[in-house]
Structure 1
């Protein structure tokens, strides 16, 4: 285990021990606020009931995201309503899916869709994931063998994406995507899954696994707060920019002519 000490400590603060965990797929669930606070800052409505599971709804009311640790099998459910050019879709992610990987998908729900055709396999190939030639289904496996992304197609043409991670100690999670899940969201998920960047977990929240590598770091509470706030601030700025662009779009029809005197009278 490596150890690092962060510089620039302020007076009167007590550093807390955290760990940078690799690979991220085996880091455990993490803090739900990494997902929920970003969505709230992006204009999503909080539909959670007091004491109940987390529930958020998109500004246009077409997508709902919930996290329930008590229901069976429990975890994240993401449901998209049928719209003009999109069939109803859904994603289920079990409880120990790292929040940074969940956020890869949920953050993408707040961004404009790229004009480029999505490619789910591209982020995995960039990180040298293996594609076994004799696998029953099209599959990509991480270099250490702990995580996978798989595409199923049955004889009737039904299709489904499946992903997950597991180590010999039994730590792990799974994710299932309906065939109708927008491909750019599946790609956003695969990019977050394949990212080589470690994720941070506090002491006592690191899974007992022989397959993970940890680096001990001492972090000030103010630093953690600043990092979290930077993510929220970025979401608010992006939301403001999108709303400003919509508000500044030229109208398709001219406004009725109004005399200057009438305009002054309404001030």
Structure 2
């Protein structure tokens, strides 16, 4: 799946097997300009607040009273700084920052548009927007009575959508209607995961999905990759 071109860094294909290299700069890089404020809190967590406090992107390795204790990455959008979140997204610690950056880049573009009705709060969009980039990349779409799942050609990555349903089943529907999981085999825990609330705009999830399904490699130092990933990318 990959070939070594130098002695220290290798191109990892498919890119979702790269996992995080411990550097979060790529995900925060698009969040620049006067509409964004970044700070390190007293617990050692890093935050970016945008669009007058309506957006929060947090890298939360430690306890933080601002977020629920799930995942390493937290993204929230709210109508105003004191309102409850309209939607949330979370990603685990091994999520490649370059893939998260596709999401934050799209989010930053929404902020730049300005106005009282930013797309990240008002354009929920159609789920088909998410499926297009993965199906173009050769992923298989599976439709069931409970939702839709897209599987990567190697079956190691998937995107699922389980929307809320009317009737009694609505109470059982997950608010995190969109889920992404990457594995190194059919068994065992996910290598990394991401989840998005049902109200997360589809164009933002589509940006994430486009990066997820990209044919471009991510470059990593081999010793930062877990052993199962090393075996996969070296054809073992």
TM-score of the aligned structures, taking structure 2 as reference length = 0.74
Partner deviation per Cα, 1:146-176 (whole Å, 9 max, x = no partner):
1111111342285611112111375611111
Partner deviation per Cα, 1:163-194 (whole Å, 9 max, x = no partner):
12111375611111111111111111111111
Mapped to 1, the partners of 2:178 and 2:54 lie a distance apart of: 22
Match of 1:174 in 2: 193
Partner deviation per Cα, 1:88-116 (whole Å, 9 max, x = no partner):
1100111111111111111111114599x
1:22 aligns with 2:39: no
What runs of 5+ residues in structure 2 fail to find an aligned partner? 64-68, 111-118
After TM superposition, the structure 1 = structure 2 runs for residues 1-267 of structure 1, keeping only pairs within 5 Å, are 2-4=3-5, 17-30=8-21, 31-40=23-32, 43-49=35-41, 52-71=44-63, 72-82=69-79, 88-112=86-110, 119-133=129-143, 136-154=146-164, 155-156=169-170, 158=173, 160-168=177-185, 170=189, 172-209=191-228, 212-213=232-233
Q: Secondary structure at the match of 2:154?
A: coil
Q: Secondary structure at the match of 2:59?
A: strand
Match of 1:264 in 2: none
Mapped to 2, the partners of 1:96 and 1:41 lie a distance apart of: 28
Q: Which has the larger radius of gyration?
A: 1
Asked if the contact 2:70–2:90 (Cα under 8 Å) also holds between the matched residues in 1, the reply is no
Asked if the contact 1:27–1:207 (Cα under 8 Å) also holds between the matched residues in 2, the reply is no
Asked if the contact 2:44–2:62 (Cα under 8 Å) also holds between the matched residues in 1, the reply is no
Q: Secondary structure at the match of 2:225?
A: coil
Residues 175, 161 of structure 1: alpha-carbon distance in 2 compared, 3 angstrom cutoff? same
Residues 179, 133 of structure 1: alpha-carbon distance in 2 compared, 3 angstrom cutoff? closer
Mapped to 2, the partners of 1:42 and 1:19 lie a distance apart of: 37
Task: For CA contacts below 8 A with separation 6 or more, give which structure has more relative contact order.
Answer: 1
Asked if the contact 2:8–2:221 (Cα under 8 Å) also holds between the matched residues in 1, the reply is yes
What runs of 5+ residues in structure 1 fail to find an aligned partner? 6-15, 215-267
Once superposed, what is the RMSD of the aligned Cα atoms?
A: 3.0
Mapped to 1, the partners of 2:53 and 2:170 lie a distance apart of: 32
Number of residue-to-residue matches in the alignment: 202
